[in-house]
Amino acid sequence: MKDSDKKLYRAKIVDDYVRGKMSRRNFLRNAAALGLGAGVLGAGMMRPQPVFAQNSLEPSKEDLDWVREVSAPFRGTTLRLATESTPPSNAINSQLKQYFEEASGMTVEIEVLPLEQVLQKLTLDIASQLGTYDLYYIDQSWAAFTSRDVFDPREQLADKPDLAMPGWAVEDFLPALVDGIARYEDRLVGVPYDIPIFIMQYRKDIYDKMGFTAPVTLEEYYEQAKAITDEMGPEMYGATGQMKSGHYSLECDWTAWLWGHGGSIFDSNGKFAGNDDAGLEAMEYWTRLWKTMPPGVTGWTWDGQGQSVAQGVAASMMSWGEFFPYFDDPSATKVSGLMEAARCPQPKHALRTVEQTGFGEIPGVGHQGGSSLAVSRNSKNPDPAWIFMQWATSYDTQVLITALGGGTGPTREAVYDDPRIIANRRVGAGTTRHLDVVRDTIAMDMGSEPDLPEWAELANDTIPVRLGKYFAGEYGSAKEAMDDIAQATDAIVSG
């Protein structure tokens, strides 16, 4: 059996087992035949399965006891949260909140929406100071404009010592994420809640066949992508992207290449810097790399990008690590067990420092798209909401989210080392075998977008619309496109 076939088969039997299609004895026999170690077997048994393995993954009793105790005055309260449909929110909504509701006597209503609709709900709520939502799900690019409408968790801890969850501290969250996602000026806009971040995900089988290893430099990545596309196209392309015009995802791809070439979005004077030499070098690189991607890439957000890898059309993608557990799902994709994760290639030129950029931008190839969870200042139930927020972001809950929610990246350092998470490092839906790479990326490669109130407009419209025009061939050159972006951006920023 080839190595890749073996992995695929392993994924299948693990999956069959947890879905109850295969008896435990058959599973063990098959697994033994594959020479699987105890860790993998353990993983199979640990697999979240409400029907078969309910006992292994239940919320911590102590935590729920605490919830029960502090919630006593608030029984009957209804809490509302509007959130993007992300793995943590889904896991909480579908699996975990029932425990909280049972313990607290509160009702938690979670409205799951696509990102742009969450923004719409949020802006209406803030602008009207309605307080319909007690908690806000805040994408990192909205931190600036929501900062004055949410509580800083440090203040909440100080003001309400009796409501503080034992062992819950802001310091336990990865410091890089607190800075990159939750900090705006000197305030914390809640705490980091989830962390999709760019990692390198590639087809091990194809890279092996071509004699490649995971790329170390951006230039090497391009060479590999080009070689694969030349050799195997149009059935297989070396790279893929999320390059839909006018969509936030296009801006995300751009920043990775920009930062990776020593560029930055803003200079220290707060002027757009994407049209300087480094910025143009990045555009030159990106334009070359684009030619190695499937032609449809300019119509895709992360959705199409993920599909192109999942359905075996692209051999690699430098993009959201959240996709990795999905790629391992044999019922949804054709690449289960074939993917490997690695850190992003190293930047071509030294990264700019935060001092050389503007508005708190942090250059780094590993673009992060995290979000935070915070209690709204407009809420009529800030105290119960604060209880829920601590519980939802507590250590134990994050472990369960990561295990149940399909291997999403935790925002707490210690969760990465939890045995329940390590046990899930096997091929199959919801794997966690990429999380070491995620942790390293957060520590070493993370790039964060600037924080300014106009950023939502710049990142969702000004920049991606013009980049889209560039890739549609509506500008004479990259320089022309970047100069146009510079002019538009500076006009918006200067008000």
> Between residue 205 and residue 234, which ones bind another protein under the rule CB under 8 A?
234
Nearer to another protein, 135 or 278 (CB): 135
Nearer to another protein, 45 or 351 (CB): 45
**Nearest distance from residue 13's CB to another protein, in Å?**
15
Of 300-329, which residues contact another protein (CB under 8 A)? 300, 302-304, 306-308, 310-311, 313, 320, 322-323, 326, 329
Largest CA distance in the chain: 68
Distance from the Cα of residue 261 to its chain's centroid: 23
Q: Is 268 left (phi over 0), alpha (psi -120 to 50) or beta?
A: alpha
CA distances from 149 to 122, 126, 180, 220 (A): 10, 7, 19, 45
Does 60 help bind another protein (rule: CB under 8 A)? no
Of 407-446, which residues contact another protein (CB under 8 A)? 429-430
Q: Convert 336-368 to b/e letters by CB count within 10 Å (16 or more is b).
A: bbbbbbbbbbbbbeebbeeeebbbbbbbbbbbb
How would you classify the pairing of strands 366-367 and 446-447? parallel
Nearer to another protein, 114 or 167 (CB): 114
The residue from 44, 190, 366, 406 that contacts another protein (CB under 8 A) is 406
The residue from 87, 180, 260, 345 that contacts another protein (CB under 8 A) is 87
The residue from 279, 360, 405, 409 that contacts another protein (CB under 8 A) is 405
**Nearest distance from residue 483's CB to another protein, in Å?**
16
Binding mask 274-303 for another protein (x = CB under 8 A): --------------------xxxxxxx-xx
Does 59 help bind another protein (rule: CB under 8 A)? no
The Cα 201–Cα 199 span in angstroms is 6
Does 50 help bind another protein (rule: CB under 8 A)? yes
The SS3 of residue 392 is: helix
Binding mask 461-480 for another protein (x = CB under 8 A): x---xx-xx-xxxx------
Of 113-132, which residues contact another protein (CB under 8 A)? 113-117, 119-121, 123-124, 126-130, 132
End-to-end CA distance of the chain: 64
The residue from 196, 274, 279, 366 that contacts another protein (CB under 8 A) is 196
How many Cβ atoms from other residues are within 10 Å of residue 37's Cβ? 10
**How would you class 19 by CB atoms within 10 Å of its CB: exposed for 0-12, middle for 13-18, buried for 19 or more?**
middle
Of 347-386, which residues contact another protein (CB under 8 A)? none
Q: Which helix (H) or strand (E) holds 488?
A: helix 478-493
